[in-house]
């Protein structure tokens, strides 16, 4: 598995976590829990953005990873 593939797999996993947190935050009736899920969601969104930015740099610097 190439570096590009690993980064893309990690990004995919993070997006799955994001979706799960979004669902949990809307399904709970407890305001404290909802707030915790929303905070975790914000952090996850930030990490996703960072990984997406890193992937763009990786693909630019190493064209062989593009499209894998």
Tens-place pLDDT, residues 18-39: 999 999 999 999 999 999 999 9
Q: How confident is the model at residue 65 (pLDDT cuts 50, 70, 90)?
A: low
H/E/C letters for each residue in the chain?
Answer: CCHHHHHHHHHHHHHHHHHHHHHHHHHCCCHHHHHHHHHHHHHHHHHHHHHHHHHHHHHHHCHHHCCC
Residues 4, 60 contacting (CB under 8 angstroms): no
The pLDDT score that the predictor gives to residue 35 is: 95
Distance (Å, whole) CA 64 – CA 18: 28
Q: Who has greater pLDDT, 30 or 67?
A: 30
At 25 the pLDDT is: 93
Q: Measure the CA–CA gap between 42 and 56, rounded to whole angstroms.
A: 21
**0.75 surpassed by pTM:** yes
Q: Quick one: pLDDT at residue 51?
A: 96
């Amino acid at each position: 598995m190439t570096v590009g593939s690993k980064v893309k797999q990690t990004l995919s996993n993070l997006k799955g976590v994001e979706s799960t947190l979004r669902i949990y935050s809307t399904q709970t009736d407890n305001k404290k829990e909802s707030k915790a899920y929303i905070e975790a969601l914000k952090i996850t969104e930030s990490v996703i953005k960072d990984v997406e930015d890193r992937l763009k740099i990786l693909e630019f610097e190493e064209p062989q990873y593009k499209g894998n």
